[in-house]
Amino acid sequence: MTNDIAVAAVARPGAAQNDESAFVILTLADQLCGVPVLAVRDVLADQAIARIPLAPREVAGNLNLRGRIVTAIDLRERLRLPPRADGAPFMSIVTEQGTELYALLVDQVSEVLTLRRAAMEANPPTLPRIWAEHSHGIYRLEQRLMVVLDVERLLQIDIAAAA
């Protein structure tokens, strides 16, 4: 049984929708990140994951979503962050590429936030290269930076390098 979280953006009266983008807000090792809401199919609470022998290190395994097999990608591993503590809860952001489903494993998913597109900035030069390669840019939110993740790029795992 899954504990799905509904993902929906609420339009604000008078806002020009083509000037705004909605993001699912998530956390990875205390770093605030955003994924475009249109790239998100489901958000799931902690799921059982079956390991896949000889898979690239970024592939955590497979999970079952209503009878479909979903490849789970560990974003901590993908972005070269320290591993999650054993038994620590995680969440999955399910996305679709072609006909395949992928679950991006994250520490926490908090909300959907709509932001002005013009407020997005280029990646700062101090952003680690691995993050810059998987990011569209950043938003400055009150006292934190939100990195906008590039879902398509995150899913480009080098299978040959794992061999």
Domains along the chain with CATH numbers: 28-162 (2.40.50.180)
pLDDT tens per residue, range 93-138: 999 998 999 999 999 999 999 999 999 999 999 999 999 999 999 9
Asked whether the beta carbons of 60 and 73 are under 8 A apart, the reply is yes
Q: What is the mean pLDDT of residues 12-36?
A: 84
Q: What is the mean pLDDT of residues 78-87?
A: 92
- Token pair in block for residue 60: 């955590």
- Phi/psi for 38 (5° steps) reads -70, -15
